[in-house]
Amino acid sequence: MAQSSTSDKIVKGVTAFGRTGKATVTGLIDGISFIGFACIILWQSLYLIALGRRHAQPVRLRHIAAEIHTAGIQAIPVVLLMASTIGIMLSIQGIYSLRVFGAETQVTFGLALSIPREFAPLITGILVAGRSGSQLTSRVGSMRLNGEIDALSVMGISPLRYVVAPSLVGLIVSLPILVAIANIAAFGAAGLYINIVLGIGPTAYWADVLSIVTLVDLMHSFGKAVIFSMLISLTGISIGMGVSGGAEVLGKATTSSVVTCISAIIAADAVFALVL
Amino acid sequence: MATDKPTPIIVSNLKGGYNGVPVIHGCNMTIEPGEIVVIMGGSGSGKSTFLRHLIGLKAPMEGDVELFGKSLYGVSEMERLSLLKNIGVAFQSGALLSSMTVAQNVALPMIEHTDLDEETISFITRMKLDFVGLLGKEDLLPSELSGGMLKRAAVARAIALDPRLTFMDEPSAGLDPVIAAALDELIIKLKTSLGMSVVVVTHELDSAFKIADRIVVLDRGYIIFTGTVDEIKNSDNQRIQNLINRIAEEEEFDPEAHLKRLYGEI
């Protein structure tokens, strides 16, 4: 009896181990196939953008403009607000920590080194991931559930060029502009705060900022913006395309889209920080 | 029947299914110009899957579908899309783009596939909506339409480019008899006044008998019958008789297996 219970335990243990292993492997395969799917979408969209016209599947400018309107222009107020808040917070924090060394006036250095390289793209990226990543997933997902994606195909309209490619281009155009706006807003708000607290005038402040920020910093800022925009749109669209089932699945997909987009952005940001 | 027109659709030896499990087994079917063919079958007979294969949404496991003499699956994605411009499909749920008005939905194929100017497109759109009895509803969103209107709007979109072949999935399912009858009239009108071939997937017997030139019966993934309305009524196949006389199928009952199923052991 005792023997059989021991062997039962072993069997249970092995089964549990096997199950975990299987789940890990399935998870890995799912992850890899998801990345593969996203790559295919990217490749086909780029192909359609470049050569769609030749196949009578042109990616239309007005669809791209509509995407820029929703993903870019409508996001400007909230980007302004967030970026200025971050700018003020960074200056508060900078002045507080530099006071230890009696070097409050050097706060501009800290700002100029961290806002364009790190904060502006990251904050804008996370914001756009929350807005547009989820919006893309829910839109593509509900189109899929309603059969609209199928309907487009049978009308001879490639869903990739009608829905996907414009979103991709729209975000790739919008995000760098939003990051530029975020940079200006963060520096502007920080400058105001520094003017009030330390009495450094705007002329001196901006001269400092412009002398410290290099072209490389700006390239970092916009490079990140472009990569984040691709991560957000591809993740949002790929998760939306995979939706099948019902309304509950769509809700879950939207949540997972936001989480995946933000994780992907932070991971990419870390890679940037390590490599460059 | 004009002989110079290519045959709208030829299905040869089609085998298809999901995840490697065949649902459609070696089906052959041809549809001639100006003909209404009704595909019938009970639930789970493979009708919907068969239709998905016919309209280019699902590559078959074996065999091919030819639209107007050109292979639908033996070509690239782009060529398939351009081939699909020649057909119209009215989906069961309508599948209108929910962000666009009825008129924009109907105009969409024309905007995307023709060089017509805006005025002409909006005139043709109103003509098509008039044809399905929806004139005056141009500016409504799909969510503001009733079930019957949705289906008719879907028909209007399907015929926007005057295709020579139109597919309709369950056009009268879930509609009241009056509207269902009106849709039947509409389908006949498509054939008589526009010379279209129409493929209708349905399990509504009355409607099938009224509109069909030919009926194709699918059963468990096999085409078990092709013929006219009279021929199907006189068929001596038991399963066809069950289908058209609404007789419940008696399945062989295995008490032991049933018990196991109840216990969740199978």
Is the CB of A2 inside 8 Å of chain B's CB atoms?
A: no
> pLDDT at position B233, please?
85
Residues of chain A falling short of pLDDT 70: 1-4
The hierarchical CATH code for the domain B1-86+164-249 is: 3.40.50.300
DSSP B57: S
Contact B91 A147 (CB under 8 A): yes
Q: Where are the domains of chain A?
A: 60-275
Output B44 or A169, whichever has higher pLDDT.
Answer: A169
CA distance A144 to A250: 10
Measured between alpha carbons, how far is B50 from B15 in angstroms, rounded to an integer? 9
In the predicted structure, residue B2 carries a pLDDT above the cut 50? no
Among A112-126, A129-143, B156-170, B250-264, the range scoring the smallest mean pLDDT is B250-264
Please give the average per-residue pLDDT across B211-222, as a whole number. Answer: 90
Q: What is the pLDDT of residue A4?
A: 66
Q: What digits encode the pLDDT tens for the residues A87-106?
A: 999 999 999 999 999 888 88
**Closest partner residue to B113 among A55, A143, A156, by Cβ?**
A156
Distance from CA of A46 to the nearest CA of B (A): 14
Secondary element (H or E) of residue B27: strand B21-31
Long-range contacts of B224-229 (CB under 8 A, 24+ apart): B226/B29
ipTM: 0.88
CA distances in angstroms from B229 to A113, B38, B173, B211, listed in the order given? 81, 10, 20, 9
Q: What are the structural domain ranges in chain B?
A: 1-86+164-249, 95-162
Instruction: Give chain B positions within 8 Å (CB) of A147.
Output: 91, 93, 95
Angstrom distance (rounded) from CA A66 to CA A47: 21
Evaluate if residue B244 carries a pLDDT over 90.
Answer: no
Q: Are B92 and B174 in contact (CB under 8 A)?
A: no
Chain A residues in contact with B57 by the CB 8 A cut-off are 150, 153-154
Side-chain half-sphere exposure of B98, counting CA atoms within 13 A: 16
* Residue of chain B nearest A47, judged by CA positions: B78
